[in-house]
Amino acid sequence: MEYLSTRGKFKRVSAAEAIRLGLSPDGGLFVPAQVEKFSREEIMEKKDKSYQEIASWILKYFLSDYSSREIEESVKAAYSEQNFPVEKVTPLKKLDNNRYILELWHGPTAAFKDLALQIMPYLLVLAADKSDVDDEIVILVATSGDTGKAALEGFKDVEGVKIIVFYPEAGVSRVQKDQMKTTGGSNTEVVSLQGNFDDCQNAVKEVFSDKSFKAKMEANSYRFSSANSINWGRLLPQIVYYFSAYFQLINDNAISEGEEINITVPTGNFGNILAAYYAYKLGLPVNKFICASNDNKVLTDFLKTGVYDIDREFKKTISPSMDILISSNLERFLFEMTEHDSEQINQWYKELKENNSFKIDQETLAKIQAKFVGQFSQEDEAKKAIKLCYQDFDYLIDPHTAVAFDSLNKYRDQSSDLTTAVIDSTASPYKFSRAVLEAIKNEKIAVDEYRIIEELKQLSGTEIHRAIKGLENMDEKHKRNCSKNKVKEELKDILAI
Ligand SMILES: *Cc1c(COP(=O)(O)O)cnc(C)c1O
């Protein structure tokens, strides 16, 4: 399997190179050159297999330059019972006859990003081994919350790698901050930055593009890499759970073999829903993809009109991981939808850079709309959805999942399409306890976050996620703090260069 850049100005690379490089040097993203459908028989053969076996099957297809043994060992270590202490790794919960929740938050940090970030470090270290470069890898992360902790846990104590996370001092929740600051491991660093998430992201981008800093790093045998979803190594592992969900539906007699399903994804960077689309390209029977957004509904508008327009107010919501205007993985999707037309992609992204918007042609739009539906939920609608789901099904959902649940319900009302639907649940409700409890009680709650967590437990009778339990009393291991224009100095200090 070879990989192409969406911008078409870089050579084809192997999977290992795509993962090691992260972003293509021409500014594009790597995508598989050719994805063939598995036959119905080949897919159905896997229906009684374990999550680990399904993962190995998918990864082997895309990582043809990794040995079977490398893949199997990585899968075994990443999806161990210790990391995902539930049967099936991503269990499916039935709400009613045609709505199912796919719980993607049983990993070490209580968000779906663990599914990718638990295995990506193995894939990256193997990729580095396959190249001639034996510098130490430095993973730089700017986070608005969930990615930082998931990346820290994934890369903690991985040999040959250092991980440094920058988060905005006032831009993350109490739980998210505590989760990051208490991370153990001898190769982890967490820095609180005096600024907002954009300052963090800009500071990190600025470091990535500084040639003299890069030279200084290389002179000291260090090399930067990235752990966000522009990296194919982060997207790929997410394809697996869509097959797992499908097989669980079959084994629950909810659908018959070959029957199509609908998939609803609470979307930010378009990574998770794109993974679902790749599962479809591999032959997973899917009727519709429902792309769910919060008040930052750039994608809803795009799917309706074909105009991608980021020239709008950025809104802070109770689903912060979806507060995003530029969905990086949309570029990969458009590349697929135009049959790999990199000239067209260059044109659209040039327009985006110059005018903050672009409009795709009618033909491509029609092709997209045949499979994809955009829906969005405003803040009060998401809150109502949390309450409704709790009342009707005695089941707690976090605000991101609530956006998906509400969007699916709207789609069903408008279309009368009652195809069996999978709703991605991307975070444990305990990760966003305040928003969840306030939605259920329909009032503002003044007490401390950790008291709220206890109250949510009492109310729902569910276990507090282990990622959050006891967090309050854990030692703070990271105390670094820096101003937004001192990031390079901070890095030099950390790396002693
Ligand atoms: C990252 C994240 C999302 C958005 O996922 P994308 O792959 O960026 O679309 C949704 N929900 C939660 C809880 C997240 O952490």
In a domain, 182, yes or no: no
Q: What is the pLDDT of residue 226?
A: 82
In a domain, 65, yes or no: no
On the question of pLDDT at 216 being above 90, the answer is yes
How far apart are the CA of 304 and the centre of ligand 1, in A? 22
* Mean pLDDT to the nearest integer, 364-380: 98
In a domain, 223, yes or no: no
Pocket test for ligand 1, best of 272, 328, 428 (most atoms within 8 A of CB): 272
479-488 pLDDT, tens digit each = 999 999 999 9
Task: Name which residue sits closest to atom 4 of ligand 1, judged by CA.
Answer: 268
Pocket test for ligand 1, best of 264, 277, 321, 377 (most atoms within 8 A of CB): 321
How far apart are the CA of 135 and the centre of ligand 1, in A? 31
Task: Name which residue sits closest to atom 14 of ligand 1, judged by CA.
Answer: 321
Q: What is the pLDDT of residue 36?
A: 97
Q: Residue by residue, what is the 3-state secondary structure of the chain? A: CCEEECCCCCCCECHHHHHHHCECCCCCEEEECCCCCCCHHHHHCCCCCCHHHHHHHHHHHHCCCCCHHHHHHHHHHHCCCCCCCCCCCCCEEEEECCEEEEECCCCCCCECHHHHHCCHHHHHHHHHHHCCCCCEEEEEEECCCHHHHHHHHHHCCCCCEEEEEEEECCCCCHHHHHHHHCCCCCCEEEEEEECCHHHHHHHHHHHHCCHHHHHHHHHCCEEEECCCCCCHHHHHHHHHHHHHHHHHHHHCCCCCCCCCEEEEEECCCCHHHHHHHHHHHCCCCEEEEEEEECCCCHHHHHHHHCEEECCCCCCCCCCHHHCCCCCCCHHHHHHHHCCCCHHHHHHHHHHHHHHCEEECCHHHHHHHHCCEEEEECCHHHHHHHHHHHHHHHCCCCCHHHHHHHHHHHHHHHHHCCCCCEEEEECECHHHHHHHHHHHHHCCCCCCCHHHHHHHHHHHHCCCCCCCCCCHHHCCCCCCEEEECCCHHHHHHHHHCC
In a domain, 116, yes or no: no
In a domain, 491, yes or no: no
Answer yes or no: pTM beyond 0.75: yes
Higher per-residue confidence, 369 vs 485: 369
| Nearest-atom index, ligand 1, CA of 113 | 15
* Mean pLDDT to the nearest integer, 374-403: 98
How far apart are the CA of 58 and the centre of ligand 1, in A? 22
Q: What is the domain count for the chain?
A: 1
* Mean pLDDT to the nearest integer, 248-256: 97
115-169 pLDDT, tens digit each = 999 999 999 999 988 887 788 999 999 887 789 999 999 999 999 999 999 998 8
In a domain, 172, yes or no: no
The residue segments making up the domain with residue 315 are: 92-109+235-468
How far apart are the CA of 213 and the centre of ligand 1, in A? 31
- If you average pLDDT over every residue of the chain, what do you get? 95
pLDDT cut 70: percent of the chain above it: 100
27-57 pLDDT, tens digit each = 899 999 999 999 999 999 999 999 999 999 9
In a domain, 50, yes or no: no
| Nearest-atom index, ligand 1, CA of 150 | 15
Q: What is the pLDDT of residue 392?
A: 97
In a domain, 404, yes or no: yes
| Nearest-atom index, ligand 1, CA of 431 | 13
CATH number for the domain that contains residue 417 = 3.40.50.1100
Give residue ranges with CB within 6 A of ligand 1: 111, 113, 146, 229, 266-272, 321-322, 400, 426-427
* Mean pLDDT to the nearest integer, 317-343: 93
